[in-house]
């Protein structure tokens, strides 16, 4: 199969109406923090057991079309010995992989950050494909302050995202482009909209420069929301209106699907905001989700690191997946009324 055919087949599997992507690509320090909150030690076996329980959730593939895995998980196996990427694929869930190697301070730009991981990426992708990965994810982060992000950070992160996406497509791997404007701070929703618009404009300018085929990528942006320390928070209708206004100004219609990150929102907030966007009429792209905490928090609290709680973990995950699947087609309210 040619790289183009591979990319098209993966996009068709990922851009599926009523389904979204599970972000289960937490790094070692991040998963340790999540486990600490529920009183569980972050050992390799505990991480394997938890992710195995998630991916073996009966019926999960109805609402989850893809899963972003951490490199460790790509090589792990379920209790019966089945490789976890194969387990996901058997559920109808496309396995993907986080390929950036994390963020560091941007030199001579206090407060700004840059993401690393381009060196050797093509070779790593070859190995990841052999383990079952069909798409990849790269996250860039942007801090908001009166003078942040600086122009250098906006341009440098856009360039890295575009280079990553071009390398992925050359290898037959669909890139998820994730520019995350962080929720931290006391900024207004208008300031978030201003920064998000500047970031997305620069990202798509860079993607064009590098020849990235927009039909064979997904965008994973943050929603336009006030900083979490701002006293004036926004309801779902305002978040939806501000977010869609920015997206219509910056994201070409050729992009097949926009899968929002939750970015520290509560599970209920993230779902309600997605629902509001999908109730504002047809858009050029599918509007879906690629949530981590907003899908996993209830599941982790139900699991508690205990094997006999695996079914409770699965039920909690399936409920959030089902509700977000409903929100992605504008039917969250109906699902809640039914008691889903």
Mean pLDDT of the region 135-146: 98
Q: Helix, strand, coil: what percent of the chain each, to 5?
A: 50, 15, 35
Please check whether residue 271 is in contact with residue 279, taking contact to mean a CB–CB distance below 8 angstroms.
no
Q: How many CB atoms lie within 10 A of CB 209?
A: 13
Biggest distance spanned by C-alpha atoms of the chain: 54
Please check whether residue 163 is in contact with residue 120, taking contact to mean a CB–CB distance below 8 angstroms.
no
How would you classify the pairing of strands 64-69 and 94-98? parallel
Q: How far apart are CA 70 and CA 61, in angstroms?
A: 19
- Given 178, 180, 202, 269, the catalytic residue: 178
Strand partners, 104: 114
Q: How far apart are CA 214 and CA 269, in angstroms?
A: 29
Mean pLDDT of the region 150-162: 98
Q: What angle do CA 165, 23, 75 make, to 5 degrees?
A: 85
Question: For the chain, what are the domain ranges?
Answer: 3-338
Written as six digits, the tokens of 51 are 């992710």
Q: Could you tell me which CATH number the domain at 3-338 has?
A: 3.20.20.70
For 35-52, how does the pLDDT look when each residue is reduced to its tens digit (9 = 90+)?
A: 999 999 999 999 999 999
Q: How far apart are CA 43 and CA 31, in angstroms?
A: 10
Cα–Cα nearest to 182, from 218, 227, 152: 227
> Rg of the chain's alpha carbons, rounded to an integer?
19
- Please, which residues have CB within 8 angstroms of residue 4's CB and are 6 or more apart in sequence? 216
- Given 98, 220, 319, 331, the catalytic residue: 220
**pTM exceeds 0.95:** yes
- For 257, the 3-state DSSP assignment is strand
**220 is known as an active-site residue:** yes
Written as six digits, the tokens of 132 are 């079952």
For 284-328, how does the pLDDT look when each residue is reduced to its tens digit (9 = 90+)?
A: 999 999 999 999 999 999 999 999 999 999 999 999 999 999 999
How would you classify the pairing of strands 94-98 and 135-142? parallel
Cα–Cα nearest to 269, from 297, 250, 244, 246: 297
The answer on pLDDT for 190 being more than 90 is yes
> What is the rounded average pLDDT for all residues in the chain?
96
The answer on pLDDT for 335 being more than 80 is no
């Amino acid at each position: 199969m040619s790289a183009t055919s591979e990319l098209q087949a993966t996009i068709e599997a990922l851009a599926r109406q009523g389904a979204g992507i599970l972000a289960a690509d937490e790094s070692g320090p991040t998963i340790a923090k999540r486990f600490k909150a529920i009183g569980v030690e972050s050992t390799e076996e505990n991480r394997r057991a938890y992710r195995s329980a998630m991916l073996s959730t009966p019926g999960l593939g109805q609402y989850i079309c893809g899963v972003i895995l951490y490199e460790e998980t790509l090589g792990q196996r379920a209790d019966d010995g089945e490789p976890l990427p194969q387990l996901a694929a058997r559920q109808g869930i496309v396995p993907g992989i986080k390929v950036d190697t994390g963020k560091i301070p941007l030199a001579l730009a206090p407060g700004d950050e840059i993401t690393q991981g381009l060196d050797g990426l093509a070779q790593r992708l070859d190995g990841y494909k052999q383990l079952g990965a069909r798409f990849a994810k790269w996250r860039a982060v942007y801090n908001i302050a009166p003078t942040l992000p600086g122009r250098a950070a906006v341009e440098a992160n856009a360039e890295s995202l575009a280079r990553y996406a071009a390398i992925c497509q050359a290898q037959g791997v669909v890139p998820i482009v994730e520019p995350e404007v962080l929720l931290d701070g006391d900024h207004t929703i208008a300031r978030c909209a201003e920064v998000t618009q500047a970031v997305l404009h620069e990202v798509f300018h860079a993607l064009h420069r590098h020849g990235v085929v927009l039909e064979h990528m997904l965008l994973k942006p943050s929603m336009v929301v006030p900083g979490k320390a701002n006293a004036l928070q926004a309801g779902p209708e305002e978040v939806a209106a501000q977010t869609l206004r920015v997206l219509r100004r910056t994201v070409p219609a050729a992009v097949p699907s926009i899968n929002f990150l939750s970015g520290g929102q509560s599970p209920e907030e993230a779902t309600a905001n997605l629902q509001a966007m999908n109730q504002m009429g047809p858009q050029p792209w599918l509007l879906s989700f690629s949530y981590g905490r907003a899908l996993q928090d209830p599941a982790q609290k139900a699991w508690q690191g205990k094997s006999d709680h695996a079914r409770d973990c699965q039920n909690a995950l399936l409920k959030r997946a089902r509700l977000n699947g409903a929100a992605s087609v504008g039917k969250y309210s109906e699902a809640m009324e039914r008691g889903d």
